[in-house]
Amino acid sequence: MNFFDTLKAGSEPERQRLFAIPIIQDALRGHVTTAQYVAFLGQAYHHVRHTVPLLMACGSRLDARREWLREAIADYIAEEVGHQEWILSDIEACGGDADAVRHGRPHPSTELMVAYAYHQVDRGNPVGFFGMVHVLEGTSTALATHAAETMRGALGLPPQAFSYLSSHGSLDLEHVAFFETLMNRLDASDDQGAVLHVARMMYGLYGDVFRSLPHGAALFDGGA
């Protein structure tokens, strides 16, 4: 079994627990409110804005043995620049307050998820960061592919309210294929173990972000 398949199999129980979260199941059926969708976008902004800094930090901490991975990170950075601004535009298209989100604080669950990623890059094995990539790209692809159109019809929002989520359907399918190639090149057991460990942890941490989203139609205020 190649490492990408090992990664998927080794983190499948955690993945199943994430997708069993009620609000994700509701989103897949289109049973969400605009307020809940805007809340999701708000928390997405607060972790997506760290994607490029995290990639930069990860690349800077790789040794010469993993230069090929640093080069791949440069490609990731080129793809990810500015995605947080897409999210703010979607919030505005939903009638939300993008400035409040930009200047607000994330929910503690989002803050902890991001902090854990920095901790792994700074104090652990930086290659472990790709466990977070695996979780976020795989989850966003599933939501974009199966939930974006359903939610758009259910909420009656314009297409420009789904630019971030919809774009990640086709975009992340390409990213997942690229990611699979990278993971199958990892041949050191410590690197593989770090990626798998972070993936398992991230499914739980990202799940907590979804669990933090408001229930009902309470307006989201962009803060914790």
**Secondary structure (H, E, C), the chain:** CCHHHHHHHHCHHHHHHHHCCHHHHHHHHCCCCHHHHHHHHHHHHHHHCCHHHHHHHHHHCCCHHHHHHHHHHHHHHHHHCCHHHHHHHHHHHCCCCHHHHHHCCCCHHHHHHHHHHHHHHHHCCHHHHHHHHHHHHHHHHHHHHHCHHHHHHHHCCCHHHHHHHHHHHHHHHHHHHHHHHHHHHCCCHHHHHHHHHHHHHHHHHHHHHHHCCCCCCCCCCCCC
Q: Residue 111 falls within a domain, yes or no?
A: yes
Question: Does residue 219 sit within a domain?
Answer: no
Please indicate, yes or no, if residue 183 is contained in any of the structural domains. yes
The total of structural domains in the chain comes to 1
Closest CA to 57 of 118, 135, 130: 118
| Predicted pLDDT of residue 119 | 97
CATH code, domain carrying 203:
1.20.910.10
Domain holding 141, by residue range, is: 3-211
Query: Within a domain: residue 224?
Result: no
Residue 217's pLDDT is: 44
Q: What is the pLDDT of residue 82?
A: 85
> How far is Cα 60 from Cα 167, in angstroms, rounded to an integer?
28
Question: Which residue type occupies 184?
Answer: N
Let me know if residue 85 belongs to a domain.
Answer: yes
Render each residue's pLDDT in the chain as its tens digit; 224 residues: 899 999 999 999 999 999 999 998 888 887 888 999 999 999 999 999 999 999 999 999 999 999 999 999 999 899 888 889 999 999 999 999 999 999 999 999 999 999 999 999 999 999 999 999 999 988 877 777 677 777 777 788 888 898 888 776 655 566 778 889 999 999 999 999 999 999 999 999 999 999 999 875 443 333 33
Measure Cα distances from 12 to 17, 53, 109 in Å.
9, 28, 22
How high is the pLDDT of residue 129?
Answer: 96
Determine the pLDDT at residue 224: 32
Its pTM surpasses 0.75:
yes
Please report whether residue 38 resides in a domain.
Answer: yes
218 in any annotated domain: no
| pLDDT attached to residue 221 | 36
> Has residue 200 been placed in a domain?
yes
